[in-house]
Amino acid sequence: MRILITGASKGIGAAIAAEVVHDASALMLVARSEDLLHDVKEKISILNPDCEISVFAGDVAEESDVEKLITEVENNYSGLDALVNCAGFAIPPTSVQETTPEIWKEMFRVNVFSAYLMTRSLIPLLSKSSAPSIVNIGSTAGISARPGWSAYAASKAAMVNFSNTMAEELKPYGIRVHCLAPGRTATELRKVLAPDEDQSTIMQPDAVARVTRFLIGPDADVISGQTIQVRL
């Protein structure tokens, strides 16, 4: 299986990479930090020595970077079987009055626009697969009220609807689309949203990764287009 993961340098993205590498013949890790990507590659390469792991440092919310990424995927692989959109951004709890237009735009740029760009750009390669799938990492914040998190929650709500719409729109291409909505998960991103929380008491990233591995596999074809909540 040929798999591409955005936001793969840490947190849920890195955990997903460590989980799905067992099923992968080729795995491309994408994030802005090249150093962190190489750290993840080094850690997971021993889990499946037969998997070809590559890294791409770039901003998947920038069209020029995505164009370079797609060219690299085209040059290295004959197609793609699974795309996991996990790139994310958050700020500490902030009232809507104090949330600047710049922050609001950046939230949607990273959390939603990147998934749009990646999905749109990779349809031709995914459609070459016999069982292609996309997993978009949302959040339970996108399906419930979160005072102080208006920009983040709104961006994740957009991800939910984008995913559900893509599940229908991409059916003619045979591409399954799932939105995975984790609850409280022990990541660096979560520390930004809930700085005083004891992360040992909440869900760990590997729990989300195990569900992602199932969703990109063949047995998840009966739940395409559903928003899957994962929470303790």
What are the tens digits of pLDDT across the range 44-65?
999 999 999 999 999 999 999 9
Domain that holds residue 162: 2-230
Task: Give the number of domains in the chain.
Answer: 1
- Is 135 exposed, middle or buried, given 0-12, 13-18 or 19+ CB atoms closer than 10 A? buried
Number of Cβ within 10 Å of residue 120's Cβ equals 11
pLDDT, one tens digit per residue, over 171-199 is 999 999 999 999 999 888 888 888 889 88
In order of 28, 53, 78, 140, the CA distances from 46 in angstroms are: 16, 11, 25, 33
Alpha-helical segments (H) within the chain? 11-20, 34-45, 63-76, 101-108, 114-126, 150-169, 188-193, 205-215
Token pair listed for 182? 């984790």
In order of 70, 74, 121, 173, the CA distances from 124 in angstroms are: 10, 10, 7, 9
pLDDT over 90 (residue 7) = yes
Token pair listed for 163? 């995913």
* Domain CATH for 35: 3.40.50.720
pLDDT, one tens digit per residue, over 69-119 is 999 999 988 899 999 999 999 999 999 999 999 999 999 999 999 999 999
- Is 148 exposed, middle or buried, given 0-12, 13-18 or 19+ CB atoms closer than 10 A? middle
Q: Among 129, 110, 88, which residue's Cα sits nearest to residue 3?
A: 129
Per-residue confidence (pLDDT) for residue 189, from 0 to 100: 82
Please compute Rg for the chain using Cα positions: 17
- Is 95 exposed, middle or buried, given 0-12, 13-18 or 19+ CB atoms closer than 10 A? exposed
Secondary structure (3-state) at 177 = strand
pLDDT, one tens digit per residue, over 112-171 is 999 999 999 999 999 999 999 999 999 999 999 989 999 999 999 999 999 999 999 999
With 0.75 as the threshold, say if the pTM is over it: yes
Q: What is the mean pLDDT of residues 22-43?
A: 97
Q: In whole angstroms, what is the distance from residue 92 CA to residue 214 CA?
A: 32
Dihedral angle at the C-alpha atoms of 205, 160, 3, 125, nearest 10 degrees?
A: -170
Q: In whole angstroms, what is the distance from residue 158 CA to residue 196 CA?
A: 27
Q: If pLDDT is split at 50, 70 and 90, which confidence band does 222 have?
A: confident
